[in-house]
Amino acid sequence: KMSKFHIGSGNRTPKIDFDSDLNYFLIEGRSLPENTQQFYESAISWIKNYKPKAGTTILLEMKFTYINSSSLIALLSIVLNLKKHTNRNCALNIKWFYEEDDEDLLLAGEDISNVAEVEFEYLEIL
């Protein structure tokens, strides 16, 4: 069973670290891949196969310095695939980090939160 998923960060792509043993998911860095769907495909399919025990607390942290609009669709898919576990009494905690005064990044998080109907915790990086 694959308990970990990792993609190192690139110039245009974020670091992705998923750990199903810890129920911890991190996406961090810049997200403006040449082909967004292709870049996020393996991460999304890994998340689709993630099966936490009922009652688990799942933590997703997203820490972007820049994100393009096509990445938002991929992130929405990740959030929605984690959200489905709330039907099994899992708690989903999502932390959205954004740099001080970066309104665009804050709004991007709010957009995903609103569309997915999942509450985010917004944390300003000073």
Sheet strands side by side (includes 57-67):
4-7, 15-19, 24-31, 57-67, 91-99, 120-125
At residue 126, the pLDDT reads 82
By DSSP bridging, strand 91-99 and strand 57-67 are: parallel
Report how far apart, in Å, the C-alpha atoms of 43 and of each of 72, 89, 117, 124 are.
Answer: 14, 23, 21, 26
Q: What is the pLDDT along the chain (126 residues), one digit of tens a residue?
A: 579 999 999 999 999 999 999 999 999 999 999 999 999 999 999 999 999 999 999 999 999 999 999 999 999 999 999 999 999 999 999 999 999 999 999 999 999 999 999 999 999 998
- Among the listed residues 117, 96, 92, the one whose alpha carbon sits nearest the alpha carbon of residue 105: 96
Six-digit token pair at 33? 């891949």
Can you give the pLDDT at residue 1?
57
